[in-house]
Structure 1
Amino acid sequence: MSDKSITKQDNQTLAQENVKTCENCHAPVQGMYCSQCGQSVESTLRYFWSVVLHLLDDIFSFDSRVNRTLIPLLFRPAFLTNEYIAGRRVHYVPPLRLYLFISIVFFLTLKFFAVDESLGAFNVGDSVSSTVKVEQHLSKLQTKKATATPDNQSLITDEIKKFSQYKEDLTKQKSLAIKGLTDKLVQLEFEKLREKDNFSPEKQKNLDNLIENITLFKSGEKNNLSSDKLTFGNNEDGSLSFDFLTPEHNKKVNDFAQLLSKKAEKAFNEDPTPLIKEAIEKLPQLLFILLPLFAGLLKIMFIFSKRLYLEHLTVALHSHSFIFLSILMVELIGFAKFYAAYLPLITHITEFLEIAIVIWIPIYLFIMQKRVYKQGYFFTTIKYAFIGITYMVMIAITATVAFIWGLAST
């Protein structure tokens, strides 16, 4: 027998060994799917961890498609959406997978930036910029002290102690009330340094009142930002009730509202960190519910466009992915700005980038709406404004639900 015939026979044997039988219709299968019934030859009954790893790989394995997806997502409004609707999908990350990945990263980083453990608690108002100003002032005072006369050194030492305490209250203090009051106090202190003898008596009185209030908060003699008590009631006495509920059910609702009021009061005036963490943890689930509602709003607004609901859902997924990615970039730039506060050029560049991204978001969404639905500027503007206002209301309701849900969980 020749070598050729042996090789041919071996190949036939290997081919027969590679032929599998479909578990559903028992037909011979060559490849990954049965040509008779279409069932995959790969069994779904596997070890649990292999299923988990397969799922994670399916979500995060973007391979080379990530470059072809993220750049258009940021800089080419409606390009990805129109490509996906037109059927050109293989080169890009699918909309749902893209949204899941970006939203997971976004909310993880949001939790980190909103509740920075290194700073101790939530940064309110302009407390970050106030902290930078205080640090810069302390650096100048240290330099000034090194060359000052013995008499002036004592005054500078007192100034250093005072601003060191401000820095500690802005960064390490967990009380939201103290952080907010200290931020206002620092702003007045710097006004006093700039104006010197021209600092008005009224401003000096405000400064003294802030110092007194901070002292009262620290001593525990005062535990409210104002005399108004935070309530969730709809009646004059602060209670909550509804006409369609029985007295017994109204009592339960009111008791729950009172409990939330106490928790909210404690969170705002002591340590808001647990509440912020809980609220942020609830947002992804709530926003995921908001997505189909937003797609439904698009369906109603463009009902004569004859587009399928899933096309509107694709618009919603790409829109939210873009918004989350843009806000994530603003967060990262803000983080860089905080740590590069002593480099004026870097600070100006980061501020410009932040403003540019914030301005680009509404412009991008407007262009996206026009390019996807292909309507004139007049109707696009009217519908864009209505959709924007409606969506802001939806976001406000979502944030309120997240806040109440977070309060209930703390």
Structure 2
Amino acid sequence: MSHGNLREEKDCLNCGHFVEEKFCPHCGQENIQTRQPFHYLFSHFIEDFTHYDGQFWGTIKKLLFKPGQLTTTYLEGKRQKFVPPVKLYIFISFITFFLPNLLPSSNDKDAGQIDQTSLAKEQSNQIIKPIEELQKAGTLSENTVQTVKKELNIEKDSLAKETESRTTSRNKGISIDVANLEELDSITRLPENRKILFLKPALKKYVELKNKGLSNTEILKKTEETIIHTLPKAIFVYLPVFAFFLWLFHDKKKWWYFDHGIFTLHYFSFLLLSTLIFTIINRIYSFLPDYFIFNAVYTLTTIALFIYTSLYFFKAHRKTYGTKKSVSIINGILLFIVNFIGLISMLLILVYISIIMLH
């Protein structure tokens, strides 16, 4: 640990208790001088980092390759060598949803192509306008103008459709075409459209965004960003619900709700970590050429990751709770079905609320 100069005084500067040796037995603070040499800042940082680094990678290793062992070890009281469950979940959650934004993606190329297409359309439109003015002045003939338009692949009908600010929503064969909020209200009052009445707030927000001048692509991008920002919230909110279902399926005297909470934090940390691994693999694959060997390796890797992720819960459950293999499988299947429905429902509700609050 630290090599800072120790104080001669035996009173803890943090809590005031008597310090017989190097660390306070009451609060754990090191009894060192408040002022140290300048190099102490760097040596202390390196010591703390390497200590946490070893603790972190040891935790990740057990979390990935020893299903349930990390939870069992923690509940036995052996906690010093591993990252605490809450800190582990928060850290993995952060890197899972933050790191992919820093990674390059082949989609950036597609975005560049889309921008170039939009720019080409805009430039073509700028060329057409002065040509039409020359036609009105009698300088150019109609045939000449039509020839130029065909060469630029621009037609008045297509331009009108692109600039038209109307919304089309489809649900089970029902087509709704609305241009403003008043028309939306009148349409949703019709008896044949009552089945989609619950979508009215989302449709209302869609019409408002269209009236502000946003394109379908921009609205879709905003919606995707909303889902990405909502997902970690939905997972975090669902943690105690998941632990509650575990509590229902196990002996209440033997297992406390706290125990189920530790299992839940470790299991969801694994799910987030596996999601991050899949994202990184997918990003790498997007840059690889379309060769059979690369496609085969990618397919086999994703299948293996999916199977391992699916079986992880059963292995972790059996290791933690010490149940028989058959009991663990039955409980695992029931818990998986119940929690899958619950998590998807909560995610849809939060996404729906987030869409309504788009601005």
Contact 1:102 1:321 in 2 (8 A): yes
Contact 1:33 1:41 in 2 (8 A): yes
Question: Match of 1:269, as an amino acid?
Answer: N
Question: Match of 1:347, as an amino acid?
Answer: N
Counterpart residue number, 1:371: 319
Report which stretch shifted further, 86-95 or 364-373: 86-95
Aligned ranges for residues 8-407 of structure 1 at < 5 Å?
Answer: 18-21=8-11, 28-30=18-20, 38-39=26-27, 62-109=52-99, 118-119=108-109, 168=113, 219-220=162-163, 224=168, 226=170, 227-228=175-176, 236=191, 237-238=193-194, 259-260=204-205, 262=207, 269-271=216-218, 272-304=220-252, 306-407=254-355
- Alpha-carbon distance between aligned partners in 2 of 1:18 and 1:34, rounded to the nearest angstrom: 14
- Alpha-carbon distance between aligned partners in 2 of 1:310 and 1:234, rounded to the nearest angstrom: 49
Counterpart residue number, 1:191: none
Question: What per-residue deviation string (whole Å, max 9, x for no partner) do you get for residues 97-155 of structure 1?
Answer: 2111111111124556899872567xxxxxxxxxxxxxxxxxxxxxxxxxxxxxxxxxx
Counterpart residue number, 1:161: none
Q: Could you say what the CA RMSD is over the residues aligned between the two structures, in angstroms? A: 4.5
Contact 1:65 1:93 in 2 (8 A): yes
Question: Match of 2:327, as an amino acid?
Answer: F
Question: Match of 2:216, as an amino acid?
Answer: N
- Alpha-carbon distance between aligned partners in 2 of 1:116 and 1:274, rounded to the nearest angstrom: 20
Q: SS at 1:333's partner residue?
A: helix
- Alpha-carbon distance between aligned partners in 2 of 1:288 and 1:60, rounded to the nearest angstrom: 29
In 2 relative to 1, CA 25–270 (structure 1 residues): closer, same or farther, beyond 3 Å?
A: closer
Q: SS at 2:168's partner residue?
A: coil
- Alpha-carbon distance between aligned partners in 1 of 2:309 and 2:316, rounded to the nearest angstrom: 11
Contact 1:106 1:328 in 2 (8 A): yes
- Alpha-carbon distance between aligned partners in 2 of 1:307 and 1:80, rounded to the nearest angstrom: 17
- Alpha-carbon distance between aligned partners in 1 of 2:232 and 2:168, rounded to the nearest angstrom: 31
- Alpha-carbon distance between aligned partners in 2 of 1:338 and 1:220, rounded to the nearest angstrom: 34
Question: Match of 1:308, as an amino acid?
Answer: W
Contact 1:301 1:383 in 2 (8 A): yes
In 2 relative to 1, CA 287–25 (structure 1 residues): closer, same or farther, beyond 3 Å?
A: closer
- Alpha-carbon distance between aligned partners in 2 of 1:360 and 1:220, rounded to the nearest angstrom: 49
Q: SS at 1:224's partner residue?
A: strand
- Alpha-carbon distance between aligned partners in 2 of 1:363 and 1:69, rounded to the nearest angstrom: 20
Work out the percentage of aligned pairs sharing the same amino acid. 23
Question: What per-residue deviation string (whole Å, max 9, x for no partner) do you get for residues 31-89 of structure 1?
Answer: 57655xx356689xxxxxxxxxx9xx999973212332222222221121111112222
Contact 1:99 1:318 in 2 (8 A): yes
- Alpha-carbon distance between aligned partners in 1 of 2:65 and 2:318, rounded to the nearest angstrom: 15
Task: After TM superposition, give the deviation of residue 261 of structure 1 in Å.
Answer: 5.2
- Alpha-carbon distance between aligned partners in 1 of 2:105 and 2:210, rounded to the nearest angstrom: 19
In 2 relative to 1, CA 58–225 (structure 1 residues): closer, same or farther, beyond 3 Å?
A: farther
Contact 1:370 1:380 in 2 (8 A): yes
Report which stretch shifted further, 223-232 or 366-375: 223-232
Counterpart residue number, 2:129: none
Task: After TM superposition, give the deviation of residue 354 of structure 1 in Å.
Answer: 0.8
The number of equivalent residue pairs is 288
Report which stretch shifted further, 90-99 or 320-329: 90-99
Task: After TM superposition, give the deviation of residue 316 of structure 1 in Å.
Answer: 0.5
Contact 2:104 2:283 in 1 (8 A): no
- Alpha-carbon distance between aligned partners in 2 of 1:294 and 1:114, rounded to the nearest angstrom: 34
In 2 relative to 1, CA 390–27 (structure 1 residues): closer, same or farther, beyond 3 Å?
A: closer
Structure 1, unmatched stretches of 5+, are 1-13, 44-53, 122-166, 175-214, 243-252
- Alpha-carbon distance between aligned partners in 1 of 2:286 and 2:160, rounded to the nearest angstrom: 28
Q: SS at 2:53's partner residue?
A: coil
Question: Match of 2:204, as an amino acid?
Answer: L
Q: TM-score, normalised by structure 1?
A: 0.57
Task: After TM superposition, give the deviation of residue 93 of structure 1 in Å.
Answer: 2.0
- Alpha-carbon distance between aligned partners in 2 of 1:348 and 1:172, rounded to the nearest angstrom: 33
Task: After TM superposition, give the deviation of residue 392 of structure 1 in Å.
Answer: 1.1
For CA contacts below 8 A with separation 6 or more, give which structure has more relative contact order: 2
Q: TM-score, normalised by structure 2?
A: 0.64
